[in-house]
């Protein structure tokens, strides 16, 4: 143990982590937080001296100066400074920046790392300190500087060639490419119709039913009709019954990516939410470090899990395993994500913290449990005089093993077959056909990405690392290149046939196909930017190139490559292409799609992307003419809008009629279709069209809005009508001058007086003014 006579300063990156660590150390230790990075590249300009061996221009941000001053003062008064930021590359860089800015001496400062916040782990880290690993720092710097260079050099080209305020990123642009390409695959996909034939047979006992499916697909109506008629009087015999034992193994403990995927499937968490909750659990000392691609569990963790399994389920449920990481360049965390105290099945905390902890606990325990033993049975039913067979299958769990605790989900969107248990049958038994059904089906189009399946794809391709999946997916949505949304399906009619009592009948039914919910969809901006970057910077958006860069970062972290030499190689390849593309000229505006000519005016009709989204343009700008513009409706994109649909938009704004002497106008604006009645604006919901909405429908929408607003208002004040107490998503609040103010928890919102409300407004902390970022 370190002598308690010394004054020790421990610096971590978050207050929650500091609070937890402080519990484990004596009074001679002070634990402080840096609140993340204390310095970063200067915001203005590229902030990299490329000619001077890529020297970065780091600055302490204004909001961190006070924190830095406090840390400097504390460091000066300490005998030893312990840099205890996270153990990955980002954490190593935080410690290095702290050492540089605080002017720490190597003799009186040490770097400590741990992958869990427990007393034992903290004390062991203090007993085994090390120096800052500059290779890890260099790998982080290489990533940070490369991302700045790519963004700084590509973004101005997008402003110049497409429109202002666009931006590009190295990994983000590749992630957008995945989503855009998948959407194009779906749009090009031609579904083919086929018929799936199923049948129900009565066993000789006169009671038991066995369901089976024909072993080939039929493709035409005529073929189905002919087949069903031909089997109406056929003999059906059990030709073969095969029963095979099998095993199902548990999934390994969680890595970052598998935790993000499973939390999305089982809990409905976004990847950002998963990482936020996991970070909290880690900082509270409940789980091990949450940014890892290691599958390893420590010997101690396995021993504790072993005892828990034997205690809860018995010896036969135990099967110790040590998983090994296959991912090349697995980062510095040396253990999978697991509970720090495996004996704790649950924890105190928010509902989301409890849910995620329970998921991690179950996965960890299940990974050390016995395989599930299953029995698969396949029954082949022959049709007299035909080569086709009906096949019936089932899978019965004979020993549940790990399934008693945990069952892994998947992203397969195909309809799941029902779990059936076949009745006992014998070979050569004759069966009676009770009914046969043939339903028309369509071949399955490619699936759109969810956040979880995108993480899995990025991991498969080697794009990004555990620390970058969530920020990447969050960034592409924030920048408006991708949105998480729904796709309305289309109704289609399909044919079904039924053979019953020797007769074949035919029906036509209706179903919804192609509908999607909560999927990642490319926006028009995303498609246009992606197509431009692929056409002009194919290397930057190449999947293998991006994956190889990640491998190079791993090599830098291992000390195999000098980071500045790698940066020079990349820049010498990248920068000349930037200059060439920037200087090139195009006859048509990038992102513009010509639809044709207006038959009435003879003017050109085109669609393009604008500051507030896609819009249609009628005519071209010249000295004598000014073109007309109309926003596209939310359900239309530049890729799929037709000339006829675009021309209809120029009928807007449209006068619908009058309500109480006020003119009613329908139009499409920045946020979608709306009606204007006097000074009131009301959104037009799905199912209504601004081109066809009636006065009665508009009146109903206005009444609904007034009713909703009335129910939302708790209290108003005659002294100042601009002050209101309203119901909000997170509870009552005060609204004044487009600002919101919290109401104290012990107050009754409806009972507050005007003077009390004014006092809450006047004493509320001033909100910082957001600075506009200069391009």
The Cα–Cα gap between 161 and 590 comes to 6
d(CA 631, CA 135): 52
Do 347 and 286 form a contact (C-beta atoms < 8 A)?
Answer: yes
Which DSSP helix (H) or strand (E) runs through 445?
A: none
Burial 456-490 (b: 16+ CB within 10 A, else e): bbbbeebbbbbbbbbbbbbbbbebbbbeeeeeeee
Q: In what order do the strands lie in the sheet with 628-631?
A: 593-597, 604-610, 613-618, 628-631
Given the residues 289, 481, 571, 674, the one annotated as active site: 289
Burial of 207 (0-12, 13-18, 19+ CB in 10 A): exposed
Q: Write down the residue that tokens 């990533």 correspond to.
A: 143
Torsion of CA 738, 744, 745, 746, to 10 degrees: -140
List 669's β-bridge partners, or say none.
672
Nearest partner of 615 among 645, 656, 585, 588, judged by Cα: 645
What six digits make up the tokens of 40?
Answer: 């970063």
Would you give the DSSP letter of residue 606?
E
User: Could you check whether the bond before residue 653 is cis, i.e. omega within 30 degrees of 0?
Assistant: yes
Any idea how long the chain is?
775
Per DSSP, what are the bridge partners of residue 66? none
Would you say 64 and 38 are in contact if contact means Cβ atoms under 8 Å apart? yes
Number of Cβ within a 10 Å radius of residue 753: 11
Q: Give the angle 394-395-401 at the CA atoms, nearest 5°.
A: 170
Residue 157: both structure tokens together:
């080209």
Q: Supply 546's token pair.
A: 């991006």
| DSSP letter string, 619-678 | S---SS---EEEEPPTT--TTT--HHHHHHHTT-SEEEEEETTEEEEEEEETTEEEEEET
Cβ distance 667 to 640 under 8 Å? no
Residues whose CB falls within 8 Å of the CB of residue 517, separated by 6 or more in sequence, listed in order: 486
Distances (CA, A) of 161 to 164, 216, 224: 9, 53, 56
The count of other CB atoms within 10 Å of the CB of residue 411 is 15
Following DSSP, what letter does each residue of 350-379 receive, concatenated? -HHHHHHHHHHHHHHHHTTBPPEEEEEEEE
| DSSP character string of 743-771 | PPTTS-GGG--HHHHHHHHHHSPPPPPPP
The phi-psi region of residue 501 (left if phi > 0; otherwise alpha if psi is between -120 and 50; otherwise beta) is left
Q: Is 29 a catalytic residue?
A: no
Q: Which residues are catalytic?
A: 289
């Amino acid at each position: 143990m370190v002598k308690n006579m010394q004054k020790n300063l421990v610096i971590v990156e978050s207050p929650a982590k500091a609070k937890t660590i402080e519990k484990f150390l004596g009074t001679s230790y002070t634990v402080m937080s840096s609140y993340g990075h204390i310095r970063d590249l200067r915001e203005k300009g590229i902030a990299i001296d490329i000619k001077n061996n890529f020297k970065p221009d780091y600055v302490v941000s204004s909001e961190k100066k006070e924190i830095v001053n406090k840390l400097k003062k504390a460091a000066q008064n300490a005998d030893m400074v312990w840099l205890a930021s996270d153990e990955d590359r980002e954490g190593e860089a935080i410690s290095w920046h702290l050492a540089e800015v605080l002017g720490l001496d190597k003799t009186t400062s040490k770097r400590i790392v741990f992958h869990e916040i427990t007393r034992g782990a903290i004390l062991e880290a203090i007993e085994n300190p090390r120096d800052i690993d500059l290779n890890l720092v260099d790998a982080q710097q290489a990533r940070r500087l490369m991302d700045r260079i790519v963004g700084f050099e590509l973004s101005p080209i997008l402003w110049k060639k497409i429109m202002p305020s666009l931006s590009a990123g190295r990994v983000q642009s590749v992630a957008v490419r995945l989503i855009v390409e998948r959407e194009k695959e779906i749009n090009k996909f031609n579904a083919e119709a086929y018929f799936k034939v199923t049948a129900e047979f009565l066993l000789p006992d006169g009671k038991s039913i066995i369901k089976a499916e024909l072993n080939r697909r039929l493709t035409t109506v005529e073929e189905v009709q002919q087949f069903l008629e031909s089997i109406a009087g056929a003999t059906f015999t059990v030709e073969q019954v095969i029963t095979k034992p099998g095993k199902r193994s548990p999934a390994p403990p969680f890595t970052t990516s598998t935790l993000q995927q499973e939390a999305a499937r089982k809990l409905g968490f976004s990847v950002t939410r998963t990482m936020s909750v996991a970070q909290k659990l880690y900082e509270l000392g409940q789980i091990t470090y949450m940014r890892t691609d290691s599958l390893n569990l420590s010997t101690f963790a396995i021993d504790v899990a072993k005892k828990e399994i034997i205690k809860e389920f018995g010896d036969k449920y135990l099967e110790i395993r040590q998983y090994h990481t296959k991912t090349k360049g697995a980062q510095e965390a040396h253990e999978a994500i697991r509970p720090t105290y495996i004996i704790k099945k649950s924890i105190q905390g928010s509902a989301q913290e409890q849910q995620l902890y329970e998921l991690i606990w179950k996965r960890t325990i299940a990974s050390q449990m016995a395989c599930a033993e299953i029995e698969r049975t396949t029954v082949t039913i022959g049709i007299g005089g035909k080569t086709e067979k009906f096949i019936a299958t089932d899978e019965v769990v004979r020993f549940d093993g790990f399934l008693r605790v945990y069952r892994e989900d998947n992203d397969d969107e195909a309809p799941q077959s029902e779990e059936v248990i076949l009745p006992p049958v014998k070979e050569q038994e004759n069966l009676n056909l009770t009914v046969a059904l043939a339903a028309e089906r369509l071949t399955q189009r490619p699936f759109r990405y969810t956040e979880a399946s995108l993480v899995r794809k990025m991991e498969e391709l080697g794009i990004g690392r555990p620390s970058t999946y969530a920020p990447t997916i969050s960034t592409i949505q924030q920048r408006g290149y991708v949105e998480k949304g729904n796709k309305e399906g289309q109704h289609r009619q399909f044919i079904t046939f039924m053979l019953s009592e020797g007769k074949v009948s035919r029906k036509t039914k209706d179903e919804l196909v192609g509908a999607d919910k909560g999927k990642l969809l490319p926006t028009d901006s995303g498609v246009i930017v992606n197509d431009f970057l692929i056409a002009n910077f194919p290397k930057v958006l190449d999947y293998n190139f991006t994956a190889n860069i990640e491998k190079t970062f791993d090599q830098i972290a291992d000390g195999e490559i000098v980071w500045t030499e790698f940066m020079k190689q990349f820049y010498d390849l990248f920068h000349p292409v930037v200059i060439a593309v920037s200087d090139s000229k195009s006859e048509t505006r990038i992102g513009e799609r010509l639809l044709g000519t207006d038959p009435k005016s003879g003017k050109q009709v085109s669609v393009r992307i604008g500051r507030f989204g896609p819009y249609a343009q009628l005519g071209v700008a010249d000295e004598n003419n000014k073109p007309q513009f109309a926003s596209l409706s939310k359900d239309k994109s530049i890729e799929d809008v037709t000339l006829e649909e675009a021309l209809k938009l120029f009928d807007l704004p449209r006068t619908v009629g009058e309500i109480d002497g006020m003119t009613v106008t329908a139009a499409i604006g920045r946020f979608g279709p709306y009606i204007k009645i006097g000074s009131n604006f009301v959104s037009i919901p799905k199912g209504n069209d601004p081109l066809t909405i009636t006065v009665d429908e508009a009146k109903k929408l206005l009444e609904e809005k007034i009713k909703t607003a009335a129910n939302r208002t708790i209290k108003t004040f005659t002294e100042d009508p601009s002050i209101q107490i309203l119901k909000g998503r997170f509870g009552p609040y005060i609204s004044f001058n487009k600002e919101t103010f919290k109401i104290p928890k012990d107050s009754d919102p409806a009972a507050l007086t005007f003077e009390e409300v004014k006092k809450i407004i006047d004493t509320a902390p001033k909100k910082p003014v957001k600075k506009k970022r200069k391009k």
